[in-house]
Amino acid sequence: MNLEATKSGQRIDLFLKEGVFFNSEMTRGEIIRNIKNGNILVNEKKIKPSYILKIKDKIKINIPKKAKKLIANRNIFLKIIFKDKNIIVINKPAGLKVHPNAFEERNTLANGLVCKFPEIENVNDKSLGSELRPGIVHRLDKDTSGIMVVARNQKVFDELKNLFQARKVIKKYLTIVHGHLKNKNGVIEKALAKASNYKKQIIAGKKTRTKVRPAITEYNVIKEFNGFSLLEVKPKTGRTHQIRIHLASIGHPVIGDKIYSKKVYDKDIKLGRQLLHAKELEFELFGEKYRFESELPKEFRI
């Protein structure tokens, strides 16, 4: 892979982490090791991970792809609400990771899916690390519950990916947040960027060091009670942690959010999860319209 730097002043390891490998399993540490091993060159020369890029620097990446085998796990319970020859629709429980990483290899949704639907094993976007995400075109956070659609073949996978990227999939979430909102409905439009330590997303500032991505979230207050509010939320973009960050940015963090809530509340500790649930998904696939709604977890039945 060959790239050209479009801006100057950024370390090459940070540039590659936020850009080329942003959606892959490759960590910044792995990128640094590949730079040191000479698998990543700048202007045909070996450089240090701290090398500061200049405009039009030529970056050459030649990293041998090491295919990882996804371990099938029959013990992962899948609550399937619909399936046909093209898609599988599930209601993911809170507490279940979507796909493996360095810290969890066996107990994820993907492990259960490939066991029950082995035909999806090689259905992916062919990028580095995608073999661990068979059929998965979108994701939910570990502690977020709700609707997910999985592709059963490559043609459907590619089409669903295009629909999500073109914002042609309607997504609706329910969440319970701290406080009562002054505006009972509205739109939060705040761009997001990675924090400097890459551990979370932040509202983008003028001097952010990472790529800025536009993010738009619509919300509507459904009910207020005891210092909390039940909201229906419609993200118009699909950025990592978008709903959680946006709601926290207006002073109403999601109950149970351990990353973006500035305070620790007793109720949050007792719940053990964040109260965010993907309740509806609607799209049109090859001329056929689909709409799915998931059963609410008990925590939302108020």
Q: What distances in angstroms separate CA 271 from CA 24, 157, 266, one per listed residue?
A: 31, 35, 9
CA 195 to mean position of chain CA atoms: 15
Alpha helices in 9-148 (DSSP H): 12-18, 28-36, 109-116
Quick one: which of 236, 244, 238, 252 has its CA closest to 183? 252
Q: Is 281 helix (H, G, I), strand (E, B) or coil?
A: strand
Find the catalytic residue in 13, 57, 84, 141.
141
Q: What distances in angstroms separate CA 201 from CA 106, 237, 259, 273, 280, one per listed residue?
A: 27, 14, 10, 19, 25
The reply to whether 141 belongs to the active site is yes
- Look at the alpha carbons of 214, 218, 99, 103 in this order and tell me if their dihedral is positive or negative: positive
Decide the pairing of beta strands 228-235 and 216-225. antiparallel
Contact present, 101 and 139 (Cβ < 8 Å)? no
Quick one: which of 255, 197, 259 has its CA closest to 229? 255
Query: Annotated active-site positions, please?
Result: 141
